[in-house]
């Protein structure tokens, strides 16, 4: 028995939701095959598209799978084939795609003993191996789809957030690698009361805007005075890309996850594509290679 999966990319943070909000992108992702084996344990048998470790305990998917299997009493095992499309260190949840994909696949092969929310902690263990922190804002949306709020990590409290029909994401990935652990190391450990108040206002505004289909409110709320000023310095042309996206009609935008990808949200496919052209032009002029995607949410 085997299953072939699509493992979606994700945008974490969405500006005002550092570590607590993420979004699933269903047009960008990896593929994976998970196969039941007579032998016990987890084996990674094939990796295409990336130079990743085959040792189960050093591989994000391997660790997530082992964590899941360790709570079950199984007299069989699984082998995993990983076909990576999402580049490591791109800021669109490469490790999360592997970690969430494998636990989803095993769950399907077992006849779905776990809910999607139950699978999140297993996937988080894989994420922890890759980034040094067990954040859920990529793995939870990869498993649940759409926008997902992580109200709390401990105990885990995950809420799927509705979003309007015409919302599109544009994501541009300048072809440099930025490790999440490095992008986390530039952050300050303390914020001021003023910054906390602004962030709460924006996050509340964004969630409210998503539910009420208030596109202007969504746009006004996509602000980040805490993380973006520190991380944007690591991303070539960040200010120009964001400015051009807004000028082309995006509602708002910012750093995708820990970067270097930059995202923008737009109302309607046509605008999202115009935004993609405007963002691309900045990197064309800088002679910088990039990948760009438009995805319906």
Of the ranges 114-122, 179-187, 206-214, 287-295, which one interacts with ligand HSE (CB under 6 A)? 179-187
- Please state whether beta strands 21-37 and 262-267 pair in parallel, antiparallel, or not at all (unpaired): unpaired
Residue 165 per-residue DSSP state: T
CA distance 261 to 258: 8
Q: Compute the least distance from the CB of residue 126 to ligand HSE, in Å.
A: 13
Q: Compute the least distance from the CB of residue 195 to ligand HSE, in Å.
A: 16
Task: Give the containing element (helix H, strand E) for 45.
Answer: strand 41-48
Per the annotation, the verdict on 291 as an active-site residue is no
* Catalytic hit among 67, 170, 180, 271: 180
- Please state whether beta strands 156-161 and 77-83 pair in parallel, antiparallel, or not at all (unpaired): unpaired
Q: Which of 90, 98, 107, 180 binds ligand HSE (CB under 6 A)?
A: 180
> Applying CB under 6 A, does 294 fall inside the site for ligand HSE?
no
Identify which of residues 170 and 258 has a Cβ nearer to ligand HSE in the complex.
258
Q: Which of 135, 267, 274, 293 binds ligand HSE (CB under 6 A)?
A: 135
Of the ranges 38-46, 117-125, 168-176, 177-185, which one interacts with ligand HSE (CB under 6 A)? 177-185
What residues pair up with 252 in beta bridges, in sequence order? 265
> Applying CB under 6 A, does 261 fall inside the site for ligand HSE?
no
Residue whose C-beta lies closest to ligand HSE = 257
> Applying CB under 6 A, does 90 fall inside the site for ligand HSE?
no
User: Six-digit token pair at 204?
Assistant: 């509340």
Q: Which of 7, 12, 82, 158 binds ligand HSE (CB under 6 A)?
A: 12
Strands (E), the chain: 2-12, 21-37, 41-48, 77-83, 147-153, 156-161, 167-174, 252-255, 262-267, 290-296
> Applying CB under 6 A, does 13 fall inside the site for ligand HSE?
yes
Q: Compute the least distance from the CB of residue 86 to ligand HSE, in Å.
A: 11
Which of 281, 247, 249, 67 is CA-nearest to residue 172?
Answer: 281
Per the annotation, the verdict on 127 as an active-site residue is yes
- Kindly determine how many residues on this chain lie close enough to bind ligand HSE according to the rule CB under 6 A: 13
Strands (E), 156-224: 156-161, 167-174
Radius of gyration of the chain measured on its C-alpha atoms: 19
Please list, in sequence order, all residues whose beta carbon lies within 8 angstroms of the beta carbon of residue 41, skipping any fewer than 6 positions away: 56, 69, 77
> Applying CB under 6 A, does 258 fall inside the site for ligand HSE?
yes
- Which residue numbers are catalytic? 127, 180
């Amino acid at each position: 028995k085997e299953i072939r999966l699509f493992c979606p990319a994700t945008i974490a943070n969405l500006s005002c939701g550092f570590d607590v909000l993420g979004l699933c992108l269903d047009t960008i992702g990896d593929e994976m095959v998970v196969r039941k084996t007579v032998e016990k344990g987890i084996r990674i048998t094939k990796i295409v598209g990336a130079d990743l470790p085959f040792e189960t305990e050093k591989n994000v998917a391997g660790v997530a799978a082992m964590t899941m299997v360790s709570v079950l009493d199984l007299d069989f095992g699984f082998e995993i084939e990983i076909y990576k499309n999402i580049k490591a260190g791109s800021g669109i949840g490469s490790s999360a795609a592997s970690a969430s994909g494998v636990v989803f696949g095993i769950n399907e092969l077992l006849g779905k003993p776990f809910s999607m929310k139950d699978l999140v902690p297993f996937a988080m263990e894989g994420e922890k191996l890759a980034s040094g922190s067990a954040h859920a804002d990529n793995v939870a949306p990869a498993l649940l789809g759409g926008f997902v709020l992580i109200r709390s990590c401990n105990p885990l409290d995950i809420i799927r957030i509705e979003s309007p029909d015409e919302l599109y994401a544009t994501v541009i990935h300048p072809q440099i690698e930025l490790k999440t652990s490095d992008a986390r190391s530039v952050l300050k450990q303390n914020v001021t009361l003023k910054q906390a108040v602004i962030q709460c206002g924006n996050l509340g505004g964004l969630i409210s805007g998503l539910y009420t289909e208030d596109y202007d409110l969504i746009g006004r709320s996509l602000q980040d005075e805490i993380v973006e000023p520190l991380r944007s310095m690591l991303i070539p042309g960040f200010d120009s890309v964001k400015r051009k996206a807004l000028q082309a009609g995006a509602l708002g935008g910012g750093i995708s996850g820990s970067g270097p990808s930059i995202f923008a949200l737009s109302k309607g496919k046509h605008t999202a594509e115009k935004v993609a052209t405007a963002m691309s032009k900045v990197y064309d002029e800088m002679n910088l290679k990039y990948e760009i995607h438009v995805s319906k949410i």
